[in-house]
Amino acid sequence: MDLAAVILNHIPTVGLVLMRISGIIAVAPPFAAATVPVAVRALLALALTLIVVPAVPAWTGAGPWDFAAAAAGELAMGLAMGLIILLLLLAIQGAGELIDLEMGFGLVNVIDPAFGRPVPLVGNFLYFLALVVFLAVDGHLLVLRALLDSFQAIPPGGGRWEGPVLAAVARQFAWVIVTAVRIALPVVGVLFLTTAALGVLARTMPQLNVFMVGLALKIALGLAVIALVLPALYQVFLDGFDTTFDFVRGFLRELGGR
């Protein structure tokens, strides 16, 4: 059947598919970056919609209120999938912010071009490092694959937002917080012990300007520990991406009632 005829015969289905795709592209990395023009994101969403529509079952609802409810559910589904993928990168950035506070960089901010807001130095560095790894392992293609697989698991207008789904999302939030602490712990632990040692030194040698010495020492130690743990962080990032996409698949199964 001609693609134009399919679209004209299934306008509500096209709208629902477009809502889900727009939701994930609006949030998921790397498509949601401020450096990606809105027009490019809109064209990508439209192109994916044209690809998906002929392969999905037609929406069988009736009436504008049913369509509005289904469209809201589709948009929420797309936003939820994008947020789940984005959470890990935000957790990595949050780990960097914890390190910044311990190193004394808490007041030193740079503009994050991905979100257009000021972020601390180490947090921004770890975020873009994780994003590079994400792109290197074809994470952007995995995002699109998860999106296309979602239409096989849940047809347009489907999905049940019940207790197990919300509980699974809560577990994902808890997991990303633990991951952020795991990433920051080596550096923060070393800097905490350094602070404790400087406190003892200040009590035994009050004539020493511990503040000035400690500031330079903590920056040097922090950078050294970050350099030492970078190879391990690569594997942590890979494990995190695998866990994230496994969770996306589980989230879709729960949402589809399987």
The predicted-structure confidence for 102-115, as pLDDT tens digits, reads as follows 777 766 665 555 55
HSE of 223 in the Cβ direction (CA atoms, 13 Å)?
A: 8
φ/ψ region of 159 (left if φ > 0, alpha if ψ in -120 to 50, else beta) reads: left
Residue 247 pLDDT more than 80?
yes
Specify the pLDDT at position 113. Answer: 57
Name the pTM for this structure.
0.79
β 117-120/109-112 pair status: antiparallel
The rounded mean pLDDT for the chain is 79
Specify the pLDDT at position 116. Answer: 59
Residue found by looking up tokens 């390190």 in the block: 99
Q: Which residues contact 2 (CB under 8 A, 6 or more apart)?
A: none
Q: Which of 54-58, 96-100, 208-212 has the lowest mean pLDDT?
A: 208-212
Summarised one tens digit per residue, pLDDT across range 34-69 is 777 888 888 988 888 888 887 777 777 667 778 788
* Residue 243's pLDDT band (cuts 50, 70, 90): confident
Query: What average pLDDT does the segment 6-18 reach?
Result: 74
DSSP string of the chain? Answer: --HHHHHHHTHHHHHHHHHHHHHHHHHSTTTT-TTS-HHHHHHHHHHHHHHHGGGSPPP---SHHHHHHHHHHHHHHHHHHHHHHHHHHHHHHHHHHHHHHHHT-TT-EEEETTTTEEEEHHHHHHHHHHHHHHHHTTHHHHHHHHHHHHHHHS-TT-----HHHHHHHHHHHHHHHHHHHHHHHHHHHHHHHHHHHHHHHHHH-TTS-HHHHHHHHHHHHHHHHHHHHHHHHHHHHHHHHHHHHHHHHHHHHHHTT-
Q: Contact, 255 vs 159, CB < 8 A?
A: yes
Q: Which residues contact 231 (CB under 8 A, 6 or more apart)?
A: none
Specify the pLDDT at position 44. Answer: 87
Residue 7 pLDDT more than 60?
no
- 232 versus 3: which is more confidently predicted? 232
